[in-house]
């Protein structure tokens, strides 16, 4: 099967129907990336849809030598940032990325739910966007730290520090939600 870069070069050069291959390969993972960032299913579907439209719109900017997934996640990040800006025009984007989010559910709901995956999803939601994003990119989107550094415009060392800190904070939230039993 042709690799993503080869397919994207063909899309760029006018065979736009080849985008279907990239859609089938990546849309579920991209949807889950948005879902973990936004915790909102309809919004994540809209963002996924919009991402593939943007790939079509900006296909001429794709350079064959760069990895397709890195380029795609750059567009995905920009889309998410645009969406944040439209919802909170008064707050600087860096603040939105650093602020701890409001807890999604009430303690009573949390007490009822003991499933590991559920607790972990809630613990993820408690991470500030910056930390959540770096974990999503490294753990679920299979990007190397060098690729993430390119995306976030920072050094590889900085990405590694963020991963380290994010995991520690995630563990803290997880144990907290679990009721400190571990």
Cβ atoms 143, 137 nearer than 8 A:
yes
Reduced to 3 states, what is the DSSP secondary structure of residue 104? coil
Question: Of the two residues 96 and 165, which places its CB atom closer to other proteins in the complex?
Answer: 165
Q: How many CB atoms neighbour CB 68 within 10 A?
A: 21
**Which residues touch 182 (CB under 8 Å, ≥6 apart)?**
175
Report the nearest approach of other proteins to the CB of residue 16 (Å): 6
Instruction: In angstroms, give the least distance from the CB of 25 to other proteins.
Output: 7
The DSSP H or E segment spanning 85 is helix 68-87
Nearer to other proteins, 46 or 96 (CB): 46
Residue nearer to other proteins on the CB measure, 71 or 143: 143
Contact residues for other proteins, defined by CB under 8 A = 1, 14, 16-17, 19-20, 23-25, 27-29, 31-32, 35-36, 41, 44-45, 48-49, 52-53, 56, 116-117, 120-121, 124, 135, 138-140, 144-146, 157, 159-160, 163-164, 167-168, 170-171, 174
Distance, CA of 156 to CA of 160 (rounded, Å):
6
């Amino acid at each position: 099967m042709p690799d993503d870069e080869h397919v994207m070069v063909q899309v760029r050069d006018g065979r736009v129907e080849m985008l279907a291959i990239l859609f089938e390969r990546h849309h579920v993972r991209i949807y889950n990336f948005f879902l973990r960032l936004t915790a909102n299913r309809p919004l994540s579907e809209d963002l996924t849809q919009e991402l593939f439209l943007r790939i079509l719109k900006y296909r001429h900017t794709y350079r064959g030598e760069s990895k397709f997934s890195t380029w795609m996640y750059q567009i995905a990040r920009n889309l998410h940032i645009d969406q944040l800006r439209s919802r909170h025009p008064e707050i600087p984007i860096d603040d939105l990325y650093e602020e701890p989010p409001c807890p999604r559910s009430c303690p009573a709901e949390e007490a009822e739910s003991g499933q590991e995956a559920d607790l972990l999803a809630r613990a993820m939601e408690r991470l500030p966007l910056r930390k959540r994003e770096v974990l999503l990119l490294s753990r679920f989107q299979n990007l190397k730290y060098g690729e993430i550094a390119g995306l976030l415009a920072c050094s590889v060392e900085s990405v590694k520090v963020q991963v380290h800190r994010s995991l520690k904070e995630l563990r803290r939230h997880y144990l907290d939600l679990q009721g400190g039993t571990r």
